[in-house]
Amino acid sequence: MVGWSRLWSPVGLAVLVGLRSQLRAYNLVDTGRPGARLPVGTPDEHRARSVDGTYNDLGEPRAGSAGSRFGRNVPLPRTAPENADDICEPNPRLVSRRLLTRREFRPATTLNLLAAAWIQFEVHDWFNHAPQAGNPWHIRLPDGDDWPHDPMTFARTAVDPTGPDDQPPVFASTVSHWWDGSQIYGETADYAESIRTHDGGRIALDDVGLPPAETEALLDPNGQAANFWVGLALLHSLFLREHNAIANRLASAYPAMTDQQLYDSARLVNAASMAKIHTVDWTPAIIAHPTTVAAMRGNWFGLLGERMSGRIARFTDNEILSGIPGSATADNGVPFALTEEFVAVYRMHPLLPDTVEFRSGLDDRVVARHAMADLLAADVRRHLTSNTAADLLYSFGRAHPGELSLHNFPRSLQNLARPDGTPIDLATVDIMRVRERGVPRYNDFRRALRMAPVTTFRELTVTTRPPPNWRRSTATSSRWI
Ligand code: HEM
């Protein structure tokens, strides 16, 4: 009734713990797993990460694996797609242009640009939808729109054909849902093998700290690889190098370990450190409320805190006291899967600026200014060759990402060329994806989370202190809240 964010932190924390219990009880929905059930595994057989994410859950080996379905955070009947007339209303291209287009860059001044690259790096670890071949979306252009083709077309999301006939459509992730570092280790056995040296558990890296360019031929050119850019490449390079550093350290401490053991152990350590960075650094930075900062540290270290967890490891099995890592597996009766609603909230494209300044780490001097379009996949290696990783990391540390708000969608992504040369308006696509995947609209979503629906656009905008004209421009109809 009051809202955890308005309460004194210890009370707010207790409310968050209660909300978490409710969400686990009412908002984890199993959509099932395609394919025959695999035999149950044992800890001795499966001590390492598998390429496809199977056997992270020994009792339910396909849970969260590549090709398995997204789960839901809302009851299945609420995920039924809207009918063909409603799904394009209001017109997503009109929303893109009228409400999302960036007029001037609104920076998120509490964050640096590494935070934007980081979350895309994580998203690529966690999930990816496949496009459907044929029968694309047709979006009629609003009057006066200068997009080169009317209607605007782009692929629908591929529906999992093995989904139950009597329920709304379900979708599958092409990559493992687990926090396993799959974005750098590879999503297919061929790629994962091709980047290994098979010596000391290491990964083959070239001069810019990325796997040799020829291994890229094994990646899907229309998949995540198409969304590579300099910010993302920096993190790939950093954590691939980190893998090798961990493998080297393990090799010197345990000379009897084989190449395979070193590779497997280094991957476990590397993936765990990514999970830790995300939990105790990234999330508290982006939701920098004292209660969420304490809550996220609590998730990792428990209420007993970092010092206690460092000194005596797990004091108790209780996740509230000693943190989630190392606590007993508890899936609350729903095998692990990331959800469509989770994907929807992570479409954080306004984080990206339209230009990035490259600076010298020595004296902070701006040495170049690049449009975003110059930093995308085709130009990554050129920039990584002509700048040091230290200067680039420094530059990203000095720049701000965009604020997650209206009127701040990067213009470069509203007209983004795909590998085959076709342009897309990613803002329009973002809106349609949420609708076609049956993520409920705002008020239905609130109801599904047991929150009171809002009744006016004023309530929607009241907490973000928007410029006054924003409310005027949104106060046209309440039908679609
Ligand atoms: C230059 C940087 C980026 C480019 C070129 C890019 C481009 C794209 C494209 C083309 C898609 C697929 C759209 C579709 O057909 O559904 C996509 C999806 C997505 N992007 Fe980005 N993106 C970038 C950065 C980011 C960032 C910083 C985030 C922040 C979290 C992000 C989060 C997502 C998410 C969650 C999806 C949905 C994936 C799915 O449906 O499985 N992206 N992006």
Atom of ligand 1 nearest to the CA of 173: 41
The answer to whether the CB of 28 falls within 8 A of the CB of 332 is yes
Closest ligand 1 atom to 346 CA: 35
15 alpha carbon to ligand 1 midpoint, in Å? Answer: 33
**For ligand 1, atom 6: residue with the closest CA:** 227
- Is the distance from the beta carbon of residue 431 to the nearest atom of ligand 1 less than 6 Å? no
* Chain segment 278-310, per-residue pLDDT in tens: 999 999 999 999 999 999 999 999 888 888 776
Per-residue pLDDT tens digits for 352-389: 999 999 999 999 999 999 999 999 999 999 999 999 99
Residue of 120, 122, 126 to mutate, ligand 1, most atoms within 8 A of C-beta: 120
Instruction: Kindly provide the b/e burial profile for residues 348-362, where b requires at least 16 CB atoms within 10 angstroms of the residue's own CB.
Output: bbbbbbeebebbebe
Rounded CA separation 74/341 (Å): 8
| 347 Cα–ligand 1 center, Å | 6
pLDDT of residue 348: 97
Q: Identify residue 154 by its one-letter amino acid code.
A: F
Does residue 108 line the site of ligand 1, with CB under 6 A? no
Tokens of 399: 């720049």
Q: Which residues pair with 72 in a beta bridge?
A: 29
The reply to whether 243 belongs to the active site is no
- Bridge-partner residues for 359, per DSSP? 366
pLDDT of 476 over the 50 cut: no
pLDDT digits (tens, 9 = 90+) for 405-438: 999 999 999 999 988 889 999 999 999 999 999 9
The residue behind tokens 């980081």 is 118
Check residue 160 and give its pLDDT.
Answer: 96
Residue 464 predicted with pLDDT over 60:
no
126 lines ligand 1 (CB under 6 A): no
Q: Best mutation site among 96, 132, 227, 435 for ligand 1, i.e. most ligand atoms within 8 A of its Cβ? A: 227
Ligand 1 pocket member 437 (CB < 6 A): no
> Ligand 1 atom closest to Cα of 129?
41
Using the mean position of ligand 1's atoms as its centre, give its distance from the Cα of residue 349 in Å.
7
Q: Which residue has the higher pLDDT, 270 or 467?
A: 270
**Ligand 1 within 6 A of CB of 347:** yes
Query: Mean pLDDT across the stretch 111-131?
Result: 98
- For residues 5 and 12, the answer to whether their CB atoms sit within 8 Å is yes
* Catalytically annotated residue among 46, 124, 129, 407: 124
Distance of CA 253 to the CA centre of its chain: 35
In angstroms, what is the span from residue 130 Cα to ligand 1's centroid?
13
Query: H or E stretch including 153?
Result: strand 152-154
Nearest ligand 1 atom to the CA of 424 is 10
Q: Are residues 452 and 391 in contact, defined by beta-carbon separation less than 8 angstroms? A: no
With a 6 A CB cut-off, is 116 part of the ligand 1 pocket?
Answer: yes
Q: What is the mean pLDDT of residues 432-461?
A: 91
Ligand 1 contact, 433 CB (< 6 A):
yes
State the Cα–Cα distance between residues 75 and 450, nearest whole angstrom.
12
CB 107 within 8 Å of CB 400: yes
Give me the pLDDT at residue 253, please.
Answer: 98
β partners of residue 129: 173
177-216 residue pLDDT tens: 999 999 999 999 999 999 999 999 999 999 999 999 999 9
Give the contacts of 252 (CB within 8 A, at least 6 positions apart).
Answer: none
Residue nearest to atom 4 of ligand 1 (CA): 227
Pocket test for ligand 1, best of 121, 347, 356 (most atoms within 8 A of CB): 347
Nearest alpha carbon to residue 339 among 227, 447, 431, 438: 438
HEC assignment per residue over 282-351: HHHHHCCCHHHHHHHHHHHHCCCHHHHHHHHCCCCCCHHHHCCCCCCCCCCCCCCCCEHHHHHHCCCHHH
Quote the CA–CA distance of 204 and 219 in Å, as a whole number.
16
